[in-house]
Structure 1
């Protein structure tokens, strides 16, 4: 699998990258956690929030893919590597919210109240970020990933000092709007 381009290249060529990403077909039977991590990275950088959320949901339903077991992608580009390292934190945030509600990773999409009551009575296995995430070097200069501002009809960067929408999971290395990560 060829690696996607670094963030600045994706941002500079957003128009050329956006449609192919939207039209990409994924064989979920042959999918891997690393491939999913890179897809989430691409959707995140080009501001495709619905697709990112869909990838997070698809990862959830691969119940054998524990977040802590995502292999270190050892990204050759420091900014790409910094972005990749934040995604497991987002997965933990999304998944642990569901787990705290009593949903196990292997729960079917449709379930009964009795099933939920049974799951809530069981011990809960919360997700954890893989060890490599904390070892990713801090960037010399924070990367700013603009988001689409519907009122202004353009992509705009966030001011981390003034905007409460900045993602805390990314804040050390990347300034980005907190993506929509929760799903039904």
Structure 2
């Protein structure tokens, strides 16, 4: 850990590349001047630098945060295989009960690969949230549940989440985007060999993105 910290500190004093854009998007308006996170391949090429960014930035103000801003943060965590941060972001999104997944606005992202990843994330949100909803937990349930609340929720009609309409209209990529995951045996970030590999995400495959199925359940 000390060596890794030294290497990161060294890079900060020896950078020759222009700095990465800081993902501070907090508005649904895509014409906002707030910068977006870089495209997938740029993040992957400069993984350590971007990890520094996501680990040192502050959490957004909940009153100013938006579904689209959260979607872009999840995009970063998926590209970097930061499954704990992804899990925390999913849980935070869940407790914003007014943020219906189908109402996530179309980001109209100009980068085709980033746009495709964003579309796939909405499908992951649906899978994750509907898993909890099928267990009888509504989006407005508090973090700590009592027996009386659980009995009440059992009488409620389950309302499943749906993906936004724009997500299915985002075209599949012409060239396969491979997003590596941490290989515990080889101690490195490596992509899956093919779409037939065990653990491949079918939702990402629909957009020609090869990735290990992200950890999306937090029950």
TM-score by length of 1: 0.97
**Which segments of structure 1 move beyond 6 Å, counting only runs of 4 or more?**
none
Equivalent position of 2:146 in the other structure: 112
What is the RMSD of the two structures over their aligned residues, measured on CA atoms?
Answer: 1.0
Q: Which gives a bigger RCO, structure 1 or 2 (Cα 8 Å, sep 6+)? A: 1
1:1-184 paired onto structure 2 within 5 Å = 1-25=34-58, 26-172=60-206, 173-184=208-219
Q: In structure 2, the residue corresponding to 1:155 is in which secondary structure?
A: strand
Displacement after TM superposition at 1:27 (Å): 1.5
Deviation by residue 1:66-116 (Cα, 9 ceiling, x = unmatched): 000000011111000000000110000000000000000010000112211
Aligned length: 184
Q: In structure 1, the residue corresponding to 2:202 is in which secondary structure?
A: coil
Aligned equivalents of 2:148 and 2:197: distance in 1?
42
Could you tell me which runs of 5 or more consecutive residues in structure 1 were left unpaired when the two chains were aligned. Answer: none
Deviation by residue 1:125-163 (Cα, 9 ceiling, x = unmatched): 100000000100111112100111121011111023442
Structure whose alpha-carbon radius of gyration is higher: 2
| Range moving further from structure 2, 153-162 or 7-16 | 153-162
Q: In structure 1, the residue corresponding to 2:182 is in which secondary structure?
A: strand
Aligned equivalents of 2:196 and 2:157: distance in 1?
40
TM-score by length of 2: 0.82
Could you tell me which runs of 5 or more consecutive residues in structure 2 were left unpaired when the two chains were aligned. Answer: 1-33
Aligned equivalents of 2:81 and 2:50: distance in 1?
11
